[in-house]
Structure 1
Amino acid sequence: MEIREPREVLREHWGYPEFRPLQEDIIRSVLAGHDTLALMPTGGGKSICFQVPALCQKGICLVVSPLIALMKDQVHQLQQRHIPAAAIFSGMDYRDIDRVLD
């Protein structure tokens, strides 16, 4: 399986030249297929730690979040970067869920 270089993905989609501390180690662990737990403070850059690996290789990245507002915000931010993303959350109409799953 072809894996893109994480720094290349970061520069292309986010415009950052380098990762924040810990991010690159976490991303490389994920890409190596290791179970990875990242405990970082709010604003520490956790989202990039699953978003970049999802773009480095083919497939689907499933993220489970308890906060609808956070899901909507992250989907919006990814779509602004022309990255396909969608969210399914409580209260959605079944037709909308079907569209997301297609």
Structure 2
Amino acid sequence: MAFRGHLSRRRLAVLLTLAVLLVTLAWLQATGSAALSGMSAQEMDWDEDGTLSRSDILRSVFSVVAERRTEGTRSCVEYRWRRSGEVIRLECRTTLADPQ
């Protein structure tokens, strides 16, 4: 199959969509978005009304930042509002070291 030298409109649209998606995911990872922090969807109830809404999910993508810290055997994830820096939630876990 010979290369024609140009892409069809459909292929160009697919490539552009994939490029935008990859750039968006890279930006979210670089800025520490809470949506990519590994939390489950049930934990994304930021307004604490008991239900997970579309706005809660969008907040976890654009408005909430997750910062991970490890101190010895204790690892913590701190969730903050992106603009104000106010802490929303702090989750810490302690793991036991392997006896070797």
TM-score (norm 2): 0.24
Higher relative contact order (CA 8 A, sep 6+): 1
- Is the helix fraction higher in 1 or 2? 1
> Which has the higher Rg, Structure 1 or Structure 2?
2
